[in-house]
Amino acid sequence: MLSIMIAPLVWLDIGEQYFPSDMYEQITNTHPEINFTSIENPPVPLTLHNLDVLNEYGNDGMNVYLTSNIDVTQGPAWLDGVVPDSTGKTKNAVSCAVIINDHGSGDVDVFYMYFYAYNLGNTVFFHELGDHIGDWEHNMISFKDGEPQAIWFSQHANGQAFTYKVLEKEGLRPITYSAVGSHANYAVAGRHDHAIPDLNLPVGFLLDFTSQGQLWDPTLSTYFYNYQPETASFESINESPLGAMHFKGRWGDQRYPDSDPRQPPPFFGFRKFVSGPTGPWDKQLNRTNVCPETGIPCIIRDTLGP
């Protein structure tokens, strides 16, 4: 299967503390809340198969937050995720979702959705900003007639695209570097300066670091799906659970209010703790280009760089 043969291999940073994580653990270690109030007695014990029952609550599930049962400031161990073993596998932890969108006429997009239980934000002038429970990052490889063309690397609010042929590879498999803490994806190791569109900090203030710490092979512990753009729905491959893909809510706690003692005073309007992310359904799975539509031109780089 092409989606596995050409799948990215991910270098986790040497200083990483928050590793890829089991998607189901996110459910067993949390409870659903809306506006900081528990949803009492969801109709069934929640699993990855039925998680989308939560779409019946609140605003079609969009304001449902899977909220940690243990206070995040106590550093619950489940947030640490699973260090890949010597084969690159996150043992007993399904930490990836591969999603295939076959556009027809030989155009196939394959998304590699990486799941981490925790995102440690970047430190800006001694302020740790943008921590959140739950973290979905991704690569997307666009194929034409079975040949990989270009790859998208998600990075914070946006990302970068490269041609397949310029990327570092192990055999046919392109290499991705996951930034320490934030898990933003890069094509090279080293230091990455950021100007982020929705973050009005002076250029260079936000820094990501990538290096060859632990090698993770996401395909060794993953679910697989086909995506149907007409209905914006997923089809299970090999009995992969559908509820997790159709759940419209957030995979972590809601941003704590400023009155919450866990939330330090904001720094230029940015907070230490922000809300957990939406799931793979919200990553523009039916693209016309390798980049998502953000209003920023899609530049497909053909030289490697930070």
Ligand X SMILES: *[C@@H]1O[C@H](CO)[C@@H](O)[C@H](O)[C@H]1NC(C)=O
The residues binding ligand X (CB under 6 A) are 35, 103, 229-230, 286, 288
Q: What string of DSSP letters covers 55-80? A: GGSTTTTTTEEEEESS-GGG--GGGG
DSSP type of residue 20: B
The separation between the first and the last C-alpha atoms of the chain, rounded to the nearest angstrom, is 31
Degrees, nearest 5: CA angle 77-78-80:
75
What is the rounded distance in angstroms from the CA atom of residue 180 to the CA atom of residue 245?
A: 26
Closest to ligand X by CB, 71 or 293:
293
Based on the number of CB atoms within 10 Å of its own CB, is 71 exposed (0-12), middle (13-18) or buried (19 or more)? exposed
Minimum distance, C-beta of residue 215 to ligand X, in the bound complex (Å): 33
Rounded-to-integer distance, Cα 164 and Cα 155, Å: 18
* Helical segments of the chain, H only: 2-5, 23-28, 243-246
Residues paired with 174 in a beta bridge: 169
How near is the Cβ of 37 to ligand X at its closest, in Å? 7
Smallest gap from Cβ 58 to ligand X, in A, equals 9
Min dist. Cβ of residue 261 to ligand X (A)? 17
The answer to whether 297 and 108 are in contact (CB under 8 A) is no
**Residue 176 host element (H or E):** strand 173-178
Which of 28/286 has CB closer to ligand X? 286
Query: Closer CB to ligand X, residue 193 or residue 258?
Result: 258
- Min separation Cβ 11 and ligand X, Å: 31
Which residue number, 15 or 229, has a Cβ lying nearer to ligand X? 229
The nearest distance, CB 149 to ligand X, in angstroms, is 13
Query: Residue 35 or 87: which CB sits closer to ligand X?
Result: 35
Q: For residues 35 and 238, which CB has a smaller minimum distance to ligand X in the complex? A: 35
